Amino acid sequence: MRLPIRLALLAAASVPLPGLAHAANGCADGTFSATHSPDGNATSILFDDFSAMAGGASGKRRATTTCRLSVPVTQPGGHTVYAVDYRGFATTEDGQTASLRTVQDGKQILQYEIKGPLQDDVAISDRVGVSGSETLDLAVILGAAGPLDENGFESTLAIDSIDFARIGYTTTASVVASLDQIARQRQSIALDLMDTAQNLLGQQSRFDEGSYVAAFASSDAAAGFNGRWEAGSGVSVLGGAAVVHANRTDVALDTLGLFAGAVRYTSAPATWRAFGEVGAWGSPDISASFSRSYQNLDSIVLASGNASGSLFSAYGRAGVIYAPDAANEFALSTRFTRAWLDLDGYDEDASGKNLFAGHIKGGRSASDTVSAEFAWSRRLDEKLDYTILGAVGRTFAGKDGAKASVDWVGDARGKADDQNFATLGGRVGWKFDERWQLDTAVSATFRENDKPDWNIGGQLKASF
């Protein structure tokens, strides 16, 4: 059963009575008719006499006529957008004006003004939205103004029809889910670059290897150098830099520079040793393209935008090393990493397809990762050695995932999920000279609700 369309004129002289429509000079009962499309998504209202007239021989310099419309909404539970077309006729002379204004919930939505001379049909198009209501309530106000002249023509604006067509519908849940996607994409930047950063810090090398510099390349589109300097008294300095063209993340990243550095302390040589390590890694210039998808009517809309910023991560690591003989070395450790991602905001392109465009807010988001790590290194002879390593951990998503102001919806926020992960990898080293060594490595990271991330690489290392 269709809800009736209610039209009422709001004028100072009218006294509203419950259940009735009142009009003093606008869309009075019997002066309009309405038709609906079979699916209820379109409504047309035809007027016999909805007009404003002033100036000329009318006897008044200014006049307004107001009609309030209440149109039933097909799906009242979400956010609906209507295209609204106003059609009529206008007559104005020099010095005269006519106008059409619309007001919704006390806010002006449309202001259209005509200045003379004009004598022609008028067609005015606009859009209006409604959220969480069974009706679209809209006040349409016609105005006319001009100097008095007993021998002149009046300024007149008459509206013959107003057509409403539903062009958009989505829900809060769909919008929030789309912002969750952006929050997860932001989090994935730090998670995916973390593997490369740990390789820059010698994650796959033996603790007793000594000082070295190395050049490396890997299948995760990274190439660069790293090294370690044994400063003495158990202190080591580690670091490196790489050019990364990330191809594994859920977000499209431009080529970036990744830098890492750390200081490690290891207790005096013994069968059992303790070690501690603190360091940082990050990129000062990150450019990324983010995307989200949401439902509009019966279609899925894909929207995207670009943002730039920086990434900084700091970590602490502590553990023990067990070396039962000169060939074998076992290391157990725990690591805590906090990553801060600072990004600018961006605006999605608003269009007929992306009706619910997002204005993504910039700011800082943070995530914490805790992991337990294991490594076993073994020397087979003077030339060959290998390392087998693994880790399990969990990333805890921060509160500030993704914030946005979405057209026709308002402010909304998305968040990333906490994520468990496991990593397994291995390295084989061949020392073909007293100073030079060639390493090859392979690793795989398995993240919850994500496909495995495989990485194959190699490095040429020189000891000193």
Can you say whether residue 221 is alpha, beta or left, with left for phi > 0 and alpha for psi between -120 and 50 degrees?
Answer: left
Q: What is the pLDDT of residue 248?
A: 62
Q: How far is CA 246 from the centre of its chain?
A: 19
Q: How high is the pLDDT of residue 5?
A: 40
Question: What's the confidence (pLDDT) of residue 20?
Answer: 23
Which residues is 459 bridged to in the sheet? 216, 439
Taking 50 as the threshold, does the pLDDT of residue 16 lie above it? no
pLDDT in the model for residue 247: 66
At 195 the three-state DSSP class reads: helix
Q: Averaged over 318-336, what is the pLDDT?
A: 97
Judged by phi (left if over 0) then psi (alpha if -120 to 50, else beta), residue 200 lies in: alpha
Q: Rounded to the nearest 5 degrees, what angle is found at the Cα of 416, between the Cα atoms of 413 and 418? A: 145
Q: From residue 329, how far is each of 208, 218, 262, 326, 427 by CA, in Å?
A: 9, 25, 21, 8, 14
10: pLDDT strictly greater than 90? no
* Residue 109 predicted with pLDDT over 70: yes
Give yes or no for residue 102 having a pLDDT over 60. Answer: yes
Domains and CATH numbers, the chain: 6-170 (2.60.120), 172-463 (2.40.128.130)
Q: How far is CA 146 from the centre of its chain?
A: 50
How many angstroms separate the CA atoms of 156 and 99, rounded? 9
For 175-184, the pLDDT digits (tens) are 999 999 999 9
| pLDDT at res. 237 | 98
Percentage helix, strand, coil for the chain under 3-state DSSP, each rounded to 5: 5, 60, 30
What is the pLDDT averaged over residues 351-366?
94
Look up residue 153 and give its two tokens: 């023509």
Sign of CA dihedral 163, 168, 173, 175: negative
Render pLDDT for 224-280 as a digit per residue (tens, 0 to 9).
999 999 999 999 999 999 999 876 657 889 999 999 999 999 999 999 999 999 999
For range 404-424, the mean pLDDT: 96
Contact of 5 with 70, CB cutoff 8 Å: yes
Confidence of residue 370 (pLDDT cuts 50, 70, 90): very high
pLDDT at position 323 over 50: yes
CA dihedral 165, 171, 175, 178 (to 10 degrees): -100
**pLDDT tens digits for range 115-139:** 989 999 999 999 999 999 999 999 9
Q: Which two tokens stand for residue 139?
A: 């006040």
Going by pLDDT thresholds of 50, 70 and 90, the confidence category of residue 6 is very low
pLDDT of residue 249: 59
Cβ-in-10-Å burial (0-12, 13-18, 19+) of 20 comes to exposed
In whole numbers, what is the pLDDT of the chain averaged over residues? 91
pLDDT category at 18 given cuts 50, 70, 90 is very low
Percent of the chain with pLDDT over 90: 82
Categorize the per-residue pLDDT at 289 as very low, low, confident or very high, splitting at 50, 70 and 90. Answer: very high
Q: What is the share, in percent, of the chain residues with pLDDT greater than 70?
A: 94
What is the model's pLDDT at position 7?
A: 40
The predicted pLDDT at position 445 comes to 94
pLDDT over 70 at 329, yes or no: yes
In sequence order, which ranges of 17-105 are alpha helices (DSSP H)?
none
- Measuring CA to CA, which residue among 113, 13, 109, 123 is closest to residue 69? 109
Nearest to 406 by CA among 414, 417, 397: 414
Number of residues that this document lists for the chain? 464
Average pLDDT over residues 93-103: 96
Q: Which structure tokens are listed for 23? A: 């009009």
**Higher pLDDT pick, 314 / 208:** 314
